[in-house]
């Protein structure tokens, strides 16, 4: 059983809960805030003024070996605590809440949980279920180079790894595990007996083909660095970053960097026309080299921790292709997710998905749908998707990591920092948290909190996010008996 603990007294976070780098998209109604960005440390008399968070607790509540004997919160206790915490005028559009027992999966209390709301990036939890159900999480993605016998027509065969290191790979890394310099060295060694010093290089992008971008994505999100093209190869150095334009053709950079790596090994490679890059490698071609990515489990953890949109789309597309489902249509990823949710009896009434990442506007999911996924992950006895439990174990930790690094740091919530885990979701049209926590009595719980239609006159998105943090903090600090 996978178990994660954090023990790090003296973790320092800046006082400000919201960074000045939060990016407002040009399209009306969309605000993308999920990416963690550096927060300026305020100064007092010229010196930094950090806040020291309390000692983190066990932050893997649902996967912990303890808690089954702890008292279960009552519906009346939960209603008292959470109704009071959700009374902020910033939540005027209403809140959808579902709280479940992390041991049995039983829903303990719900508030308007069946109403579809904007899921934003919490939709990635729905995508995670589809990935877990479609691929072997222990498998890796191989980036190979093959050539017909006796030929120097090299083909770099992509199989989904968009986290390639331009140079030497790092065996301890997720982003950058497989290195193009290592691959070039293997190819050069394989060609050495032939004395070849020139070659033609093309890519094979035939695995899991599909749209470069979902048609429903706002182009400004790509321009502003919140996502990139969805292809089956790319560099770790191309991971999106707020304020940095994302590459439209990541595969071109892979080809260029690999050709340079071959040149460093004494082989001058000429790139074949891009129109040939969609053709599969010749049958029976000899493998000259291969490098392996991190496991699918590790890559999925990274996608959720950083809320990586294109990486999530990539993984779902691979899961669909592995399951023999179509991948070339605009709605194929969303359709595959709904198919897998339905197969596992997750309620989908009112669900509207247009992508796998939650980035598109006008999507909808209820707290009941998200809570259904968490139930499958929490209840080991269900036996349906045991690997989904590991997904919960990798979610960001409040006040400490990933997209929650700047959350649960305000005076009203920092007492619970280190306990709640969650997948965040933040657009101007809606805000959400979905994850796990532990009650004051030690009972593991799962929760979903969704809010939309919050008025800008009350502080809009930022205030709504703070209000959601207070709701989860209230759940965490109460026994709710």
Nearest to 323 by CA among 154, 125, 152, 129: 129
Q: Are 361 and 123 in contact (CB under 8 A)?
A: no
**Counts of helices then strands in the chain (DSSP H, E):** 11, 16
pTM for the full model?
0.87
Reduced 3-state DSSP string for 249-261: CHHHHHHHHHHHH
How many Å apart are CA 450 and CA 7, to the nearest integer? 30
pLDDT score of 456: 63
Maximum Cα–Cα distance across the chain? 79
Distance between the two ends of the chain, CA-based, in angstroms? Answer: 30
The token duo for 34 is: 């999920």
Q: Are strands 198-204 and 268-271 parallel, antiparallel or unpaired?
A: parallel
pLDDT score of 17: 25
CA atoms in the 13 A half-sphere facing the CB of 32: 32
pLDDT score of 41: 31
pLDDT score of 137: 96
Reduced 3-state DSSP string for 206-265: CCCCCCCCCCCCCHHHHHCCCCCCCCCCCEHHHCCECCECCCCCHHHHHHHHHHHHHHHC
- What's the CA dihedral at 334, 355, 318, 177 to 10 degrees? -150
C-alpha 418 chain-centroid distance? 20
Per-residue pLDDT of the chain (481 residues; tens, 9 = 90+): 333 333 222 222 222 222 222 222 223 333 444 543 333 333 333 333 333 333 444 445 444 556 889 999 999 999 999 988 887 766 766 899 999 999 999 999 999 999 999 999 999 999 999 999 999 999 999 999 999 988 989 999 999 999 999 999 999 999 999 999 999 999 999 999 999 999 999 999 999 999 999 999 998 888 888 889 999 999 999 988 777 777 889 999 999 999 999 999 999 999 999 999 999 999 999 999 999 999 999 999 999 999 999 999 999 999 999 999 999 999 999 999 999 999 999 999 999 999 999 999 999 999 999 999 999 988 754 567 888 999 988 999 999 999 999 999 999 999 999 999 999 998 888 899 999 999 999 999 999 999 987 666 555 778 888 889 999 999 999 999 8
- 3 state DSSP class of 101: strand
Question: Which residues face 51 on adjacent strands?
Answer: 13
């Amino acid at each position: 059983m996978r178990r994660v603990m954090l023990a790090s007294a003296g973790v320092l976070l800046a006082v400000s809960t919201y960074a000045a780098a939060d990016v407002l998209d040009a399209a009306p109604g969309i605000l993308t805030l999920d990416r963690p960005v550096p927060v300026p440390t305020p100064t007092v008399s010229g010196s930094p003024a950090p806040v020291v968070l309390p000692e983190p607790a066990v932050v893997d509540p649902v996967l912990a070996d303890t808690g089954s004997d702890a008292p279960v919160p009552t519906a009346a206790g939960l209603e008292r605590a959470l109704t009071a915490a959700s009374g902020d005028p910033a939540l005027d559009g209403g809140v959808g809440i579902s709280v479940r027992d992390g041991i049995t999966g039983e829903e303990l209390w719900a508030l308007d949980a069946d109403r579809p709301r904007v899921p934003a990036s919490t939709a990635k939890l729905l995508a995670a279920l589809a990935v877990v159900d479609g691929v072997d999480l222990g498998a890796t993605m191989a980036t190979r180079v093959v050539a017909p016998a006796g030929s120097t027509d090299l083909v770099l065969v992509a199989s989904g790894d968009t986290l390639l290191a331009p140079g030497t790979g790092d065996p301890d890394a997720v982003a950058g595990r497989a290195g193009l310099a290592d691959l070039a060295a293997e190819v050069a060694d394989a060609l050495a007996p032939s004395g070849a010093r020139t070659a033609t290089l093309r890519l094979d992008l035939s695995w899991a083909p599909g749209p470069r971008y979902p048609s429903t994505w706002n182009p400004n999100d790509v321009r502003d660095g919140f996502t990139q093209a969805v292809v089956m190869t790319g560099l770790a150095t191309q991971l999106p970053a707020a304020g940095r334009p994302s590459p439209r053709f990541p595969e071109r950079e892979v080809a260029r960097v690999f050709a340079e790596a071959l040149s460093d090994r004494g082989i001058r490679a000429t790139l074949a026309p891009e129109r040939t890059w969609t053709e599969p490698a010749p049958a029976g071609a000899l493998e000259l080299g291969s490098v392996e990515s991190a496991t699918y489990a590790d890559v999925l953890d990274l996608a959720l921790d950083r809320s990586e949109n294109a990486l999530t789309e990539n993984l779902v597309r691979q899961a669909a292709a592995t399951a023999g489902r179509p991948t070339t249509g605009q709605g194929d990823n969303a359709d595959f997710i709904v198919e897998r949710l339905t197969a596992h009896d997750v309620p989908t009434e009112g669900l509207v998905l247009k992508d796998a990442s939650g980035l598109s506007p006008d999507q909808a999911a209820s707290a009941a749908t998200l809570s259904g996924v968490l139930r499958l992950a929490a209840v080991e006895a269900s036996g349906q998707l045991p690997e989904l439990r590991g997904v919960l174990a990798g979610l960001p930790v409040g006040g400490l990591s990933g997209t929650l690094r700047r959350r649960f740091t305000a005076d009203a919530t920092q007492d619970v920092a280190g306990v709640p885990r969650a997948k965040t979701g933040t657009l101007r049209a809606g805000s959400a948290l979905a994850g796990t926590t532990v009650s004051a009595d030690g009972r593991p719980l799962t929760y979903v909190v969704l809010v939309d239609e919050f008025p800008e006159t009350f502080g809009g998105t930022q205030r709504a996010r703070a209000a959601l943090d207070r709701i989860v903090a209230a759940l965490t600090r109460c026994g709710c008996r």
